[in-house]
Structure 1
Amino acid sequence: MFDSLGRALRRAGYATLTFDYSGHGASGDEIITFDPLIEDFRSASGWLADQGFARQICVGHEFGAAVALRSRPPAVQTYVLVSPVLGPLSYDWNLVFSDVQLSDLEHHGATTVPDDSESVRRQFTISKRTLADMSMVSGEDALRGLSVPVLITHDSFDEETGLLDRTREVFHLLPDGSLVEMTAAPDGIAGEYTPVDGVPIIDEAVDRALAASGSAHLPTLADVAAKWASRWVPVSR
């Protein structure tokens, strides 16, 4: 997802930065909790500003969106939040972790989780604090006082996971100019269009056409994000 999004932004004239949070990718084996991730994000944004990139666009995915919102670096002029977690979610950890992992969490306070992504990392280290951070995200705390516009994107899977409902609940807290857009599923297969009550779509003409047809091909995340970036942080020529 981030690779294709980064390519789209670079084609549009933007410089991009990717980095590994503490406990992720090629970074160290720190236990993953929100507070160090927030500091990582602020440090990365500050370093970019020092290099002359004083107008920044932040892209955050799922829990990374919550981290980005809580970081609030001053150089960020707009956020693109992809399937963000903007409220508490309920998990049955017995279905997520093995008996050994649950025992480690209970008796040692931490455990490791295999990383099956394309990352160089083989495993993550998490703790009870990690699970609390994941379960108890507060959209109200994340959005309160935010002054820059936010683009939130959801795909068809977010209806099933409850992420879309969390966005509905906190939509009234979004700053002026913010929008929610339905995009194609990550695998590129168009999903069913689900009207979001009270949440405007970027293009009202497309909204009406999709609502009338019941289903249609949805725009890609890369296209939507590039359009949003050009609106709020136009490329300097």
Structure 2
Amino acid sequence: MNVQEVALTGAHGVRLAAIREGANPEAVVVFAHGFLSDKHALGRFDRLAARYVEAGYSTLRFDFSGNGASGNAPITDERRTGDLRAVLDQVEAWGYQRVALHGHSKGGSVSLRARDPRVSAMVLTGARTAPVYYDWSEHLPADVLTGIRTRGRGRSPATGPRAFHLLTQQSLDDFATVDTREILSAVKLPVLLMYGDAPHDREELLLAEHAACGMRYLSPESRLLIIHGADHSMEGHIEEVADHGIAWLRTHCPA
């Protein structure tokens, strides 16, 4: 199997670490990971990529700037959107004719924001399609929030190849500044939205409810699918996600 580590250039010239896999020179699935995650997504993206390669696609997994092994930068939707468009520039330069996006959580939201005409179809899990309001004191250490408040940025501890994630107030505000109609109505391609319905994951249930309300703004061929028993991570349901994703792309972005 053809697996290659590559370095790409993202928004503002930041180096992006990436893994290119598969031998199809025409059809590729580009992965977009979630908030404070990376191109592996705790191994979930690795397993999904392997399934797409088995189905005949090439794949590209990359770390957004400020995440994983990529260069350091504040983590914001604006930067992530710029990174994704820069990655699609490289995909185009490599000669791929058919491009699909597989995004999870914040990566799904950024995929929708990018609305790049070079993309034929999207497969998104747990994407935020409406404002979500958090009590950040329940999610981030107090010193990170103090740094954001007093110095404009805070360093959230990270694992793996980097020591920290650089967060600003915009990093947090991005979750609450989502215009559903504006974002979804601009997406003209077929989108498969998948969410879990695990009773204990109230956030995922809310995200699914938001998406159901927003479906009227997406293209008529788009679809909302519930993965029964799954939580936001989709852990334990990766094979089911892959099955649905591959079936969707075989129709809307064939290998």
Contact 2:74–2:168, Cα closer than 8 Å, also in 1: yes
Say how many residue pairs are matched.
205
More helix by share: 1
2:174 matched to which residue of 1? 133
In structure 2, the gaps of 5 or more residues are 1-43
Structure 1 residue ranges, 4+ long, deviating more than 6 angstroms after superposition: none
1:175 deviates by 0.3
Q: 2:186 aligns with which of 145, 156, 170?
A: 145
* Matching of residue 169 in structure 1 with residue 217 in structure 2: no
1:85 aligned residue: 128
Partner of 1:230: 250
Aligned to 1:176, the other structure's residue is in SS state coil
- 1:32 and 2:52 aligned: no
Deviates more, 1:99-108 or 1:85-94: 99-108
Kindly report the root-mean-square deviation, in angstroms, between the aligned alpha carbons of the 2 structures.
1.8
Tell me the amino acid that sits aligned with residue 108 of structure 2: A
2:212, 2:224 within 8 Å by CA — same for their partners in 1? no
Number of the residue aligned with 1:208: none
Q: Residue type of the partner of 1:182? A: I
Question: What CA distance in whole angstroms lies between the structure 2 residues aligned with 1:49 and 1:157?
Answer: 39
String of CA shifts for 1:10-67, please: whole Å, max 9, x gaps: 0000000111111111111101111111111011111111111121011111111111
Distance 1:105 1:157, change over 3 A: farther
What percentage of aligned pairs have identical amino acids? 28
Deviation (angstroms), 1:124 = 0.5
Secondary structure at 1:16's aligned position in 2? Answer: strand
Q: Tell me how far 1:95 sits from its aligned partner.
A: 1.4
Q: Which residue of 2 is the match for residue 213 of structure 1?
A: none
Matches of 1:181 and 1:68 in 2, distance apart?
A: 18
Whole-angstrom CA distance in 1 between matches of 2:174 and 2:247: 32
For the structure 1 residues 100 and 145, does the alpha-carbon distance in structure 2 shift closer, same or farther, using more than 3 Å as the test? closer
Q: Which amino acid aligns with 1:77?
A: S
SS at match of 2:89: helix
3-state SS, counterpart of residue 130 of structure 1: helix
**Structure (1 or 2) with the larger CA radius of gyration:** 1
* Match of residue 240 from structure 2: 220
Which residue identity lines up with residue 70 of structure 1 in the other structure? R
Q: CA deviation at 1:146?
A: 1.7
- Where structure 1 has 5 or more consecutive residues not aligned to the other structure, the ranges are 190-217
Corresponding position: 1:178 with 2:222: yes
Is the CA contact (8 Å cut-off) linking 1:46 and 1:73 kept in structure 2? no
Q: 1:18 to 1:232 in 2, by over 3 A?
A: same
1:122 Cα deviation from its structure 2 partner: 2.5
TM-score (norm 2): 0.76
